[in-house]
């Protein structure tokens, strides 16, 4: 509602959010409020920068190794799915990418329980929620003392409290839990901004964006605005702890049914199940297809699983209502009852 109004006239200015200059007072207020809410909700200490960058989370896959590695130094990766595989590939362009552990043998149905770190990793990278495979870390991995921890939190950012202090960098494309595509939230410790390589194109240095409050060039103003609205919504829900409880309860309804179903089963191991992406199969591709068609007819769209996993995936991000999960379970029950 607020966004609809602000598209036409932001804050009573008679000029819409899409038309305001990013240098103008009206947008600067939006920017400041968005950063302040982000800091408040995420409990982000003062020695961290909050940046709004472009190029998606995918650009962080290269920007991080490019900033912190040399061809002789190593970064360690928890390889827990397709996105971490991609991050590893980009790392190899700039330094040594060491796979500290991988869940590949189980088709990424489980988060490994231990890692085999290299001698002196500069940083350790993990993907907190694996969007495609429906797995999620329960807590941050422990890392060697001299390394800093990097988290790709693209698909579970702000779905639960996050201990920022344990991390050097947290990044997330906004499009799952924070707002529209086109803006990437980067939370980075200030000493790392200073430490990062200086011989890089200006736009690819964190310091450029930190020094210029994410406005070295024209930032994705609408994305930042919507992020601010989403932060306010999260605050109104009671903040991240309240949202975490709600998400656990919401996903729990679907997993509970999956545990008792004779037809459907969850693909992720119980200790690694995601509260954002619930992946499940019938074990029969034809039945999967029939179920997806039936669910689509019932108004439940987008359930087809990623092609690398098959089956179904229910993406139930922060904004997805519990009533939607209840409806999905109802349609699954009906389908199960009709399937002999
Ligand atoms: C965990 C994870 N990392 C990275 C990405 C890539 O993000 P982007 O499309 O913003 O580059 C995605 C996209 O779905 C994702 O789920």
Residue 32: pLDDT over 80: yes
Q: Given this model, what pLDDT does residue 82 score?
A: 97
Q: Given this model, what pLDDT does residue 308 score?
A: 84
What mean pLDDT comes out for the span 164-174? 98
| Residue 340 banded pLDDT, cuts 50, 70, 90 | confident
Domain 239-338 sits in CATH 3.90.1150.10: yes
- The CB of 154 under 6 Å from ligand 1? The reply is yes
The CATH class for the domain spanning 2-236 reads alpha beta
Work out the burial of residue 105: count CB atoms within 10 Å of its CB; fewer than 13 is exposed, 13-18 middle, 19 or more buried.
exposed
Token duo for residue 142: 């422990």
- The CB of 274 under 6 Å from ligand 1? The reply is no
Instruction: List the catalytic residue out of 6, 76, 78, 83.
Output: 83
Q: Given this model, what pLDDT does residue 335 score?
A: 97
Pocket test for ligand 1, best of 85, 130, 155, 172 (most atoms within 8 A of CB): 155
Among residues 186, 185, 188, 170, the alpha carbon closest in space to that of 223 is found at: 185
Pocket test for ligand 1, best of 52, 61, 83, 179 (most atoms within 8 A of CB): 83
Mean pLDDT taken over the chain = 97
Active-site residue flag, 176: yes
| Residue 1 banded pLDDT, cuts 50, 70, 90 | confident
pLDDT tens, 264-312? 999 999 999 999 999 999 999 999 999 999 999 999 999 999 988 899 9
Q: Given this model, what pLDDT does residue 152 score?
A: 98
Q: What percent of the chain has pLDDT over 90?
A: 99
What mean pLDDT comes out for the span 136-148? 97
Q: Which atom of ligand 1 is nearest to the CA of 58?
A: 11
The answer to whether 184 touches 177, Cβ cutoff 8 Å, is no
Helix residue spans in 69-214 (DSSP H):
82-91, 190-195, 206-211
User: Which tops the pLDDT comparison, 145 or 340?
Assistant: 145
Among residues 235, 63, 275, 278, the alpha carbon closest in space to that of 152 is found at: 63
Active-site residue flag, 152: yes
- The CB of 177 under 6 Å from ligand 1? The reply is no
Domain ranges of the chain: 2-236, 239-338
pLDDT tens, 62-109? 999 999 999 999 999 999 999 999 999 999 999 999 999 999 999 999
Token duo for residue 291: 């179920």
Q: Given this model, what pLDDT does residue 243 score?
A: 97
Instruction: List the catalytic residue out of 156, 176, 250, 288.
Output: 176
Take atom 9 of ligand 1 and give the residue whose Cα is closest: 56
Instruction: Tell me the pairing of strands 74-79 and 184-189.
Output: unpaired
Active-site residue flag, 190: no
- The CB of 178 under 6 Å from ligand 1? The reply is no
Take atom 15 of ligand 1 and give the residue whose Cα is closest: 154
Q: Given this model, what pLDDT does residue 52 score?
A: 98
CA of 155 to the centre of ligand 1 (A): 7
Take atom 2 of ligand 1 and give the residue whose Cα is closest: 154
């Amino acid at each position: 509602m607020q966004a609809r109004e602000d598209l036409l006239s932001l804050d009573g200015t008679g000029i819409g959010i899409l038309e305001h200059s990013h240098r103008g007072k009206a947008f600067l207020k939006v920017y400041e409020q968005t950063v302040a809410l982000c800091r408040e909700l995420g409990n982000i200490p003062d020695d961290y920068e909050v940046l709004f960058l472009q190029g998606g989370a995918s650009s962080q896959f290269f920007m991080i190794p490019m900033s912190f590695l040399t061809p002789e130094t190593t970064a360690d990766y928890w390889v827990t799915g397709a996105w971490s595989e991609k991050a590893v590939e980009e790392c190899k362009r700039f330094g040594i990418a060491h796979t500290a552990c991988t869940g590949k043998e189980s088709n990424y149905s489980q988060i490994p329980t231990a890692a085999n770190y290299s001698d002196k990793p500069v940083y350790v990278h993990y993907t907190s929620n694996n969007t495609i495979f429906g797995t999620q870390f329960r807590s941050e991995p422990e890392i060697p003392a001299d390394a800093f921890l990097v988290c790709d939190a693209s698909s579970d950012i702000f779905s639960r409290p996050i201990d920022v202090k344990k991390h050097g960098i947290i990044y997330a494309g906004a499009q799952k839990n924070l707002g529209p595509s086109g803006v990437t939230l980067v939370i980075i410790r200030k000493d790392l901004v200073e430490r990062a390589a200086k011989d890089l194109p200006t736009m690819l240095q964190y310091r450029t964006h930190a020094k210029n409050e994410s406005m070295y060039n024209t930032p994705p103003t609408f994305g930042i605005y919507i992020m601010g609205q989403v932060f306010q919504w999260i605050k109104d829900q009671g903040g991240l702890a309240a949202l975490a409880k709600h998400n656990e309860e919401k996903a729990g309804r679907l997993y509970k049914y999956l545990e008792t179903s004779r037809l459907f089963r969850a693909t992720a191991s119980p200790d690694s199940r995601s509260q954002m992406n619930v992946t499940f199969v019938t074990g029969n591709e034809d039945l999967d297809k029939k179920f997806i068609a039936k669910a689509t007819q019932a108004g439940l769209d987008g359930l087809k699983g990623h092609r690398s996993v098959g089956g179904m995936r229910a993406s139930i991000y922060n904004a997805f209502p519990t009533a939607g999960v209840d409806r999905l379970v109802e349609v699954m029950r009906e389908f199960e009852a009709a399937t002999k």
